[in-house]
Structure formats: C-alpha cells, structure tokens
Amino acid sequence: MTAGGSHLGTSESQPAAPVKASAPATGRAYLAIIEGFVGALMMFAGSIGTGWIANGSPMIRQPVVIALRTEGWGVTVSTVLLTVGAMVLMRSWLRLGQRLAEWGKSSLRSVVIAISAWSLPLLFCVPVFSRDVYAYTGQGRLVQEGQNPYEVGISTLSNWFALGADPAWAENRTPYGPYFLWLARGVVGLTGAQPDVSVLLFRLLAGVGVLLCVIYVPKLAELHGINGARALWIAVANPLFLISFIASAHNDALMVGLAVAGVYFAATRRYIVGILLVTASIGIKPITVLLLPFLGVMWAGPSATWTRKFLMWGATAGLSFGVLLLSGIPYNLGIGWTWAIMDPTPGYTGYSPSGFLGQQVEMLANALGLPGGTLATWLRTGMKWGAIALVLLLMFRGDYSRAVRRMALAFTAVVMLSPIIQPWYILWFLPFLAVTGIRDDWQIRSLYVGVTFFVVFGAQDQLSVWSFVELPIDASTLAFFTALAFTFYLLFLDVHTRKLLIQGKPWDLARRGWQWLMAQRERAVSR
C-alpha cells in the first residue's frame, strides 16, 4: 500500500484521461512548443540590454552589449523584447494545455519537450527578474574565506560590489541551508568567483531541481489518480517556473526538486529515503521543514494510534535534524540556518493577501482616528499565526489517504498568509497541489491569474537600466504597459486564450453581468 496512492485518492482526484493512440491536438503541440521557444529567444535577446550584469563581468565591455545598455534605442528594444518574450511564453503555455486537452499517452512527451525547448534559451540569459544568483557567489566566497554567512553579510568581502549582488545583501545574513553553502563554495572554487561562469553553474544546479520535478511530478501525480502530463504542465512548464528557476537561477528550484522527490519516495513506503531527500531540501532552504510532520504521518501508516504517530513524528524529526546537526560541522556553520525559520524577514509586500489587507485596515483605521499601523500589524501577525494553526490542524486531522494533499494545503497556507511573498514563492507549493489535483474551474483560472500577475510584475520590477541613459519613456513603465497590453490581448482579443481566462465572449459576459444586476435590483424593489 502506498501513502496517498490512487487507490486511496484525494478530494481532487480525477480519473486519468482516456489514452488514445493519437490525438489531433497532441500532434499540433509542436506549434505551441515552437512559439514558446521563440518567446524564450526573445527573452534571451532582451536580457542582454536589461538583465543584471555584474560590474566585474567582461561582457559589460563588449560593443554590442555597450550599445544595448547605453543607447536609448538599445534599452527600449531590449525592454520590449524581454517583456513580449515573457508574455509569448505565457501564451504558449496556455495554448500547449489547450492542444493537449485530451492528455493522451503521448502528452507527457510533448510537455517534456516543451520544458526542454523553452529552458534552453533561458539557460544562457543574463539574469532577469532577480539578481539573487550573484549573492550566492558572495556567500560561497564567505565560506571559502573561512567566514560564516550566518553571522556576516557579503560586505566583509573585498570588492564585493563587483560580484553583481543587490546592496540589500551587503549586511544580511544568508537564509539558506548548509548544503547550499557547500555548493556555493564549490562553485566559487571552480570559477574563482568569475560572475558569468558562476551564474551558469548555479543555473545548472537549479536545472537539477527542475529535472527532479520533471521526473517525480508525473510519478507522484499518478499515485493520486491525476494525469501526470497535466500535473507536469501545471507545475513545471508554466513560464513563472521556468523564468524563476532557469533564467533567474533561484536555488529554490533545487529545494523544490528534492522535496518532490522525497515526498514521492515517502508515498511509496521508502520512508527513510524520503526523509533524507526532504532533509537535503531543508539543507538548501529551510522552509521545507514543514513537510516533515506529514512524512511522519505517512510513516505511521493508515491505522496508526496516536502513540505511533507521535513516535513516528519524533523519529522523523530526530533523523532529519540529526543529519542537519552533523552537516553544520564542516566549515563551522553550526545550526545557523535555524535563524531563517525563527527570525523571518520583517516587513510585508503589498500584493500578498496579508500585506494588502493590512494596508486597507491601516488606511480605514487612520481615517477613523484609530491607530492604523498597530491594527495592521496585529492583522498580519494574526494571519501568520493562523497559518501555523492550519498546519497543526492538517497535521492532526484528516484522512491518511490525503496526506500529500494536506501537506500541499499546509504549505499553501504558510506561503499565502505570510506578510512577504516573492513571485517564485508560489512555486514552492504548486507541484504538490498539481499532483493531488487542480480542477478545470476556478482553481486553474486562479493559477492563470497568479502566474500572469507575477510574470507581468517581474517584467517591470527587475530591470537593470543605468541612470544616465536617456529614454523617451521609463523602461519599467514601458515594460508594464507592454505586458498589460499583451494581457488585454490574451483576455479579450485572442480567440483561443480568452476561452480559458473568461467564460464566453466578452460582450456576452457583460450582458450576463448586466442581467444579474437588474435581477438583483428587481428583488430589492420587490422586498
């Protein structure tokens, strides 16, 4: 018996799509794949003029690069290419899902080819949407020079600014686990901290995480009676995943890949291997520590008493934390990684539910003469503790057959109720939701909205443009309105994608909305 297997099911389980020898839609998948490849190539070209290049990179002295980054026309063209490329990739993902709607036996191959084709140009991009990858090089240098990244920031390094890292990392301690610091030190040892080669190696490490997801997302989905190709399309082929984990080279890719692999092994009763893989994930980035209690639930078994559950929780924690404790001995890293859990980053992002609601409460309270800032802080703190309460509830309550689904919901709660959400944070829990079922209704449309929002947000939020460059329109503004125009096209003008994003023709939608309003008015009058 497997933990969370298809014979047990989940609340979102769906029968696997009927297998067909050949489906016309599957045969046309290559059209979406080619379109996405073109979009990724556009992103590659645009990244040269607006991506993040380290000051110490020799690329910055190349004539073509100089022209694209110092001339107004070069920055403008690069901005448009990067933004339109990202939105073309978005459309390609949507169209691939439409063309593979039958989800027959060849659909998994098509999704894997799409992921490979779309990733290839992004592998050689100048870092876009984030420059955290340059901070990884700095943290690797800290370890190499005998300093502890859990105690000091990269500003202690000589010539640290030439590495290309955001100045925000100057004094910040690293939030990453010991295994990632080992890897970062290895990269620096191989490259001598040369920024461009270091970025490529960190991308390859992220690619290992993507590969693990490609292998184990379909397998884990099949255990839950969910079509593996569809789950892979949702979780890995989406543009936010590929841009964040390939183009931006976030180490979260390796964290997620190890976590998915670990959950798969635990779900197939290889509990020790599963726990060790999740422990490796924690050693990359500690947030996946919240998966451990659910692995303990799987290990305890479907008919476990409370005594056995507590024993298995203790065994799971003891094994994982014991390994991590020993892992702190090399380079004298200790257990410094625990600060990332115990002392989270202060502040909030305005687009997180917690941050947005807090802003509204603060504004309303201030208008009423109440202490708005205090009330907003209480709300955000309450939502954060509410997430912890949900994790505990899902740990202690629920069917054994839904252990992975409960884990997915707990992970989702922790991320979505946190005051700070970065665009790639939703990718932490998305694979676990995908393998346990995302329905073709408001659930998948919510995903479309979230992915589109964060792709648009990233396109205009993280552009590297020198202040002396004269532009007819600010690059971020140009990127924002370009992405907004493309989003409008997807919603209302594209005869294919608008079927996914809104139900019915736009004018029919408006007419039904007007009829509903009139009906509500008539009911109000009749009362």
**Judgement on whether residues 94 and 159 belong to the same structural domain of the protein:** no
Helices 252-267 and 426-436: crossing angle in degrees, nearest 10, is 30
Contact 423/457 with Cβ under 8 angstroms? Answer: yes
Mean pLDDT throughout 191-202? Answer: 95
**Judgement on whether residues 253 and 178 belong to the same structural domain of the protein:** yes
Q: Is 226 helix (H, G, I), strand (E, B) or coil?
A: coil
Q: Give the pLDDT score at 339.
A: 78
The pLDDT-based confidence of 511 (bands split at 50, 70, 90) is very low
**Judgement on whether residues 228 and 263 belong to the same structural domain of the protein:** yes
Here the tokens at position 7 are 């014979």
Domain ranges, residue 270 = 129-340
**Judgement on whether residues 215 and 199 belong to the same structural domain of the protein:** yes
Domain boundary among 340, 364, 389: 340
pLDDT reading at 336 higher than 70: yes
Q: Give the pLDDT score at 33.
A: 97
- Whose structure tokens read 């676990």? 432
Q: Give the pLDDT score at 20.
A: 41
Say if 204 falls within a structural domain: yes
**Judgement on whether residues 77 and 187 belong to the same structural domain of the protein:** no
The pLDDT-based confidence of 23 (bands split at 50, 70, 90) is very low
Q: Give the pLDDT score at 6.
A: 40
Mean pLDDT throughout 264-281? Answer: 98
Here the tokens at position 463 are 């552009």
Question: Shortest CA distance to 365 belongs to which of 350, 354, 377, 347?
Answer: 377
Q: Give the pLDDT score at 499.
A: 86
Quote the percentage of the chain above a pLDDT of 70: 90
Contact 284/254 with Cβ under 8 angstroms? Answer: yes
pLDDT digits (tens, 9 = 90+) for 348-360: 888 899 999 999 9
Contact 85/42 with Cβ under 8 angstroms? Answer: yes
Using only C-alpha atoms, the chain has a radius of gyration, in whole angstroms, of 24
Q: How far apart are CA 399 and CA 13, in angstroms?
A: 14
Q: Give the pLDDT score at 516.
A: 45
Question: Shortest CA distance to 283 belongs to which of 175, 396, 390?
Answer: 175
Helix (H) or strand (E) holding 228: helix 228-235
Q: How far apart are CA 359 and CA 158, in angstroms?
A: 40
Here the tokens at position 53 are 């290049």
**Judgement on whether residues 142 and 265 belong to the same structural domain of the protein:** yes
Question: Shortest CA distance to 224 belongs to which of 397, 441, 8, 403?
Answer: 8
Contact 232/111 with Cβ under 8 angstroms? Answer: yes
Number of domains in the chain: 3
Contact 75/68 with Cβ under 8 angstroms? Answer: yes
**Judgement on whether residues 288 and 323 belong to the same structural domain of the protein:** yes
User: What does pTM read for this prediction?
Assistant: 0.91
Here the tokens at position 434 are 């995908």
* Four-residue CA torsion sign, 304, 305, 307, 309: positive
pLDDT reading at 329 higher than 80: yes
pLDDT reading at 508 higher than 70: no
Q: Give the pLDDT score at 7.
A: 37
**Judgement on whether residues 97 and 164 belong to the same structural domain of the protein:** no
Poorest-pLDDT segment among 167-171, 411-415, 507-511: 507-511
Say if 16 falls within a structural domain: no
Q: Calculate the average pLDDT of the chain.
A: 90
Q: Give the pLDDT score at 183.
A: 98
Domain boundary among 280, 309, 340: 340
Say if 10 falls within a structural domain: no
Quote the percentage of the chain above a pLDDT of 90: 80
Q: Is 434 helix (H, G, I), strand (E, B) or coil?
A: helix
Here the tokens at position 115 are 């992921």
Q: How far apart are CA 212 and CA 76, in angstroms?
A: 37
Mean pLDDT throughout 441-447? Answer: 93
pLDDT digits (tens, 9 = 90+) for 39-62: 999 999 999 999 999 988 999 999
pLDDT reading at 242 higher than 70: yes
pLDDT reading at 283 higher than 60: yes
Q: What's the chain's length in residues?
A: 527
**Judgement on whether residues 38 and 48 belong to the same structural domain of the protein:** yes
Q: How far apart are CA 366 and CA 214, in angstroms?
A: 49
pLDDT digits (tens, 9 = 90+) for 61-84: 999 999 999 999 999 999 999 999
Question: Nearest 5°: CA angle at 129, between 440 and 482?
Answer: 70
pLDDT digits (tens, 9 = 90+) for 392-402: 999 999 999 99
pLDDT reading at 2 higher than 70: no
Say if 334 falls within a structural domain: yes
Q: Give the pLDDT score at 18.
A: 40
**Judgement on whether residues 162 and 247 belong to the same structural domain of the protein:** yes
The pLDDT-based confidence of 513 (bands split at 50, 70, 90) is very low
Mean pLDDT throughout 380-406? Answer: 95
**Judgement on whether residues 67 and 200 belong to the same structural domain of the protein:** no
**Judgement on whether residues 165 and 256 belong to the same structural domain of the protein:** yes
Say if 516 falls within a structural domain: no
Helices 107-123 and 195-223: crossing angle in degrees, nearest 10, is 170
Say if 466 falls within a structural domain: no
Contact 135/167 with Cβ under 8 angstroms? Answer: no
